[in-house]
Amino acid sequence: MSGDQIHPVPTGFLRRHVFSTDHKVIARQFMWVGFLGLFLGGVMAMMIRWQLAHPGEPFPLLGMLFWPSSGGAIPPDAYNTLFTMHGTIMIFVGLTPLLIGAWGNFCIPLMIGARDMIFPTLNMLSFWTLFLGVGVAVYSLFVPLGAAEGGWTAYPTLSSNIGTPGDGETLWAISIFLIGASSIMGGINYITTIVRLRAPGMTWGRLPLTVWGLFFTSVLNVLFLPVIGSAMILMVLDRVFGTSFYIPATMAQGGGGDPILYQHLFWIFGHPEVYILILPAWGIVGDLLSFFSRKPAFGYRVTVGALAAVTILSAVVYGHHMFTTGLTAMLGESFMLLTFIISVPGEILFFNWLHTLWRGDLRLTSAMLFSMGVIFVFGLGGLTGIYLATISTDIYLHDTYFVVGHFHLTMAASSLFGAFAGCYFWYPKLYGRMLDERLGKLHFWATFLPLTFVFCAMFFSGYGGMPRRYFDHTDNPYTNELQWINELTSTAAFILGAAQLLFVVNVLKTIRSGAKAPQNPWEVGTLEWTAASPPPHHNFDTIPVVLTGPHEFSNPAIRGGKDWIYQTEPLSG
């Protein structure tokens, strides 16, 4: 409930752990679903990379388990399922729950000084709707005729029952609808909480950037997930009840629909979706760079303005996904121009990060390393976006591995590093135990180096003309000449996969025997560090009164030899 009304601590196992309405418990639930999603998606990525590097050879260990009829080698239809579910699981079951679900739920109430989310029941419902969606998605893997095979974008008429008969694709659409519904509930909850439950004194100018990132993400969630929900409803009606919204007149007796309509609907949601994934990471990085440079975030208001600009512009740039689909010249060029314009707020954000680092007092903890990793990776990913925003280069590069490299660098690497930075930074507050810094730094370097190699190698194979989503590149002479890049990429990808074990070991080791975390290990002033680690059920004994901004580091007015100040302490003078 809202305000400073302390609702009673739930008793009983179910209320406390399963159907809990405490935002911290829900954050943990989202985190573990996120880790499960990253693990599943990661294993699928390894299978995809194995098939690309060694076409036809049985996948070691797991191969016989999944595909006994082909002696462990991945058959072509299973390969299509693999990259479809890899995309879907990484985005909707891995990153969204981890970045928005876990860190959103944990950080927003604590950082704005509230006791809990404003609608705790809706919060719990949001998790269980996601859980239901994930259940439906996992169930669709075991349906006869296999799971969805139309790519995570599922363009009809391949995703209609003409291209993929069977129930797999229908169940996939239902699970996307449910996960979308869960994100809408979460979005409503986050926006209302941030607007209504800020502690006294926590003005909009004193909100940490993480909360700003999550606020804009929720705005996009609330506005654009219903669009994909409707697109999925139309697809389910097409597949189950035989309507032909996406099936053209030339193909079906009752036809008259348009597959391009789905592409428009999908990408109206699709592009804001990639910003939904990157905005929390931008927020977290904006904060962490300031925290660990012991220096205020450069241009706080400009950064928030840039985030707002990206949120607004994200609605109108989706056309760059469809340059080769046959848009009219005017439409294509206007989307090209708009895509270039949206890169400007991105650049402004980027400069503010670099300016934050400049002349700071850098403490290179693993959270800081991951945040600087985001700068490197998003720099590389963002800049290569210019190739794809320009129609004349996109005509050649569209649907090649160049695009795969680009969106992995921006969406996968940047958001993933933002999530890892969040994990290393807030784990002490969430579980009350410190993650091992040495293992953290090793995990960073062991992830960062192979990751950069893998996704930059994709630029080369894409530039060489290797199309996306091919089961076997040695089948035709042209892409066979690029097979050597596949082998290198796959080797590096396996190292990248193995490197994630470091993080698993780190988390598991810390749960049992991690060092007890002090209340404020990183000497940072935001409100969540005024609470105990882990915070009690009602977060704060008394609702804190905020007197200063989140980034008042090395402020000359701070006395007592410290270079930081709690937001609740006044800045004298």
Partner 1 sequence: MSPIRSRRARTALATLAALAALALAPATSAQQVVDRWRPNPPASSYGQRFDDLFLLITVLIGVSFAIVLVLLIVPVVRDRARPGHKASFDHGSSLHDKRFTAVVSVTVFIVLDAWVLVVAMKDLREGYWNMPRPDTPDVLRVEVLAQQWSWNFRTPGSDGELGTPDDVLSINQLTVPQDRPVALNVTSKDVIHSLFVPDMRVKRDANPGAINVAWFQPIKAGDFQILCAELCGYAHYQMHGKLHVLPAAQYDAWEQEASAIALAEHDPNDAEARWAWDFKE
Partner 2 sequence: MTRTLLPSVAALALLAAAGLLAPGDVTDEGRGAAPAPDLPPHARAPYGVPLSVAEGARLLAWDKDIERAAAAAEPGRFRKDGDTWVDARGEYAWDAEEEVYWQDVPASTLTRGRQDFVQFCSSCHGLQGDGYGRSARGLRPPPRSFLRSTFKFTKVPGAFLPNDDALLRLVQHGLDGTPMLPWAVSEQRLRDILQYVKSLSPEDSGWRDPTNEIGDVIYTPPDPVTDESHPKHPWYRQPEKAVAAGAEAYHKYQCWSCHPAYMTQKQLNALRGPSFADTAYDASLTYGKLKKDSSYEVLGYHVAIPAPDFTWHVLRYGRDAREVFQTIAAGIDGAGMPTWGRTDPDAKGSVPDEEIWAIAHYVRHLVATYQDQPAERAAFMAGVRSK
Partner 3 sequence: MDHALTLPRETPRHRTDVALGLVLFIGSWSMAFATLFLSFLILRQRQPAWPPEGVVLPSLGLAAAGTAVLLASSVVLAGAVRRLRAGAPGFAARWALGLALGLAFAALQTWLWSDVWSAGGRPDSGMYEGLFYMLTWFHAAHVACGLLALLWIQGAAAAGRIGPQRSAPAAGVATFWHFVDAVWLVLFLGFFLF
Residue 203 Ramachandran class (φ > 0 left, ψ -120 to 50 alpha, else beta): beta
- What's the rounded Cα separation, in Å, for the pair 370 and 440? 9
Q: Could you tell me which residues come within 8 angstroms of residue 489 by beta carbon, excluding any fewer than 6 positions away? A: 49, 52, 53, 453, 454, 457, 458, 461
Q: Pick the binder of partner 2 from 29, 88, 96, 170 (CB under 8 A).
A: 170
Nearest CA among 548, 515, 551, 487 for reference residue 55: 487
- Please list every residue from 115 through 174 that binds partner 3, using CB under 8 A: 118-119, 122
Which of 122, 383 has the CB closer to partner 3?
122
407 binds, among partner 3, partner 1, partner 2, none (CB under 5 to 8 A by kind): none
Measured from the CB of residue 329, what is the shortest distance to partner 3 in angstroms? 21
State how far Cα 283 lies from the chain centre.
13
- What's the rounded Cα separation, in Å, for the pair 263 and 258? 9
φ/ψ of residue 147, rounded to 5: -80, -170
Which of 4, 347 has the CB closer to partner 1?
347
Q: Pick the binder of partner 3 from 258, 333, 472, 569 (CB under 8 A).
A: 258
Q: Does 225 bind partner 3 (CB under 8 A)?
A: yes
CB 510 within 8 A of CB 431: yes
561 binds, among partner 3, partner 2, partner 1, none (CB under 5 to 8 A by kind): none
315 binds, among partner 3, partner 1, partner 2, none (CB under 5 to 8 A by kind): none
364 binds, among partner 3, partner 2, partner 1, none (CB under 5 to 8 A by kind): partner 1
Nearest CA among 461, 490, 318, 335 for reference residue 403: 461
Q: Does 302 bind partner 2 (CB under 8 A)?
A: no
Strands 433-434 and 515-516 turn out to be antiparallel
Q: Does 247 bind partner 2 (CB under 8 A)?
A: yes
- What's the rounded Cα separation, in Å, for the pair 423 and 437? 12
Which of 89, 117 has the CB closer to partner 1?
89
Q: What's the half-sphere exposure (Cβ side, CA atoms, 13 Å) at 516? A: 3
222 binds, among partner 1, partner 3, partner 2, none (CB under 5 to 8 A by kind): partner 3
How many residues touch partner 3 (CB under 8 A)? 40
Which of 188, 348 has the CB closer to partner 1?
348
Which of 72, 166 has the CB closer to partner 3?
166
Stretch near partner 3 under the rule CB under 8 A, chosen from 189-197, 281-289, 430-438, 517-525: 189-197
User: Which secondary-structure segment (H or E) carries 515?
Assistant: strand 515-516
Rg (Cα) of the chain, in Å, rounded?
Answer: 24
Which of 190, 503 has the CB closer to partner 1?
503
Q: Pick the binder of partner 3 from 131, 139, 155, 230 (CB under 8 A).
A: 230
Residue keyed to tokens 């930081």: 564
Bridge partner list, 467: 400
Other beta carbons less than 10 A from residue 511's beta carbon? 10
Give the interface with partner 3 as residue ranges (CB under 8 A).
1-3, 5, 7, 118-119, 122, 184, 187-189, 191-192, 195-196, 222-227, 229-231, 233-234, 237, 241-245, 254-258, 261, 265
Give the interface with partner 2 as residue ranges (CB under 8 A).
56, 67, 69-71, 73, 75-77, 119, 121-122, 125, 129, 132, 144-146, 160-162, 165-167, 170-171, 174, 177-178, 181, 184-185, 236, 238-242, 244, 247, 251-255, 471-472
